[in-house]
Structure 1
Amino acid sequence: MTEVFKEQPGPAAAALAAERGLGDPVGTFATKPGWINRKWREHRLHLYTGGLVVIGPDSPPVAYDWTHTRALRYYRTVNGGLIDARYTLIGPDGSALNIGPGARPVPKKLQERLGITSLTRGAPFQYPGDWGDYLQSGITRAQLPTAWSRVTGGETLNFGPFTVDRDGVTDRKRTLAWSAVSEVRTSNGFVKIDGHEKREISYLESAADVPNLLLFLNLCQQLKH
């Protein structure tokens, strides 16, 4: 990992990163060596302080900045070990790219709900726990102040199966006021929103269907106080 991680972005990736204002390079990720991933051998994921660039030998580089990107995360574990860790990156124009190990499809209805206009299969980059956590933290850090201002200013924000406004959080059918929310958390691949009272039914939705999951959790945490 160390050798590839220190690999500097090539001219095309560096030029696009500069054009998009992604800041300084942080590290590079590749796919697992071997014949199974030979199709993706030359593909690279370059992390920057303000976003990322994905590039392959036969395709132009694609950039995603933390300020405007939405990301879906699908994790699957077996006996505590991470098997699948697929991320779907969604740009402002609705074009989406799947990267990371695993092959979890994005259901058609979810694509329509999120405004995804095209979906491209990308490389199964190694160490998704590292670049995936960095990606989620970057998006949350960049978007949380604006999300807070928009919601407290009266707007409603959409997070897949949930919507959030200054009064409460709503799933597909119900609304729970912030004053009634005890905890917003993830458990066994689901998002759970618990009420203070025992009679309050927990809201349960797949975490893989919630774009910018860490941003959603942090925003809810702030709004319920």
Structure 2
Amino acid sequence: MSHKFIAEMIGTFILVFFGCGAAVLMGEHIGFQGIAFAFGLSIVAAAYGFGVISGAQLNPAVSLGFLLSGRLSVSDFVAYVIAQLTGATLAALVVMLIAQGQADYTVAANGLGQNGYGAGYNGEYTLSAALLFEFVATFLFVTVILGATQSDAPVGFGGLAIGLTLTAIHLVGIDVTGVSVNPARSFGPALFVGGQALADLWVFFAAPLAGGALAGALHGAGITRSPHVRPQG
């Protein structure tokens, strides 16, 4: 378990460091499209780097989907979530320390790539739009992950499929919520930004976890699972 914990922590660090780092340090140069690819490519890197150790779930909503599909134990789920939150927090801290090397940067004014919605945030979408997007996007994301990692899926392509899916999700939804689909990714930046980011954090726990739970339940019931694959729990 110590190897899995470290893999999940470093893998989630990679996701938040590259994704949120791109938004904070290079956002004005690469735009939403560049940020979307930074998040997607980071998943590809982490999946191929750590998938063989822990499955590179990197996301409490994904881990919940694996738990409810019968492919992850309760004890592993708890350990994975702790590792993911830790990795995301450390990554957000490192991004903040780097950004502070620029004279005109402040967390309050420039943020850390935190998620949000409503007045003053990106497209100023409503709470209902934010909840719906995060729920649907996470459901689709976790469904793809469960399918791409089942035992009879094409070998060697899971990380690529997952990374491209996350890229597509960002291309659709950055203007809505900044795209969470991952409570850990939201938790790390919000912890340091505080204020409204912390107040909004419940949205980026509730909706992704609900979407991940539905994906896991359907996969576990065999509805979105290959008929040749049985749950592993």
TM-score (norm 1): 0.30
| Larger radius of gyration between Structure 1 and Structure 2 | 1
Report which structure shows greater RCO (CA 8 Å, sep ≥6): 2
Higher strand share: 1
Higher helix share: 2
TM-score (norm 2): 0.29
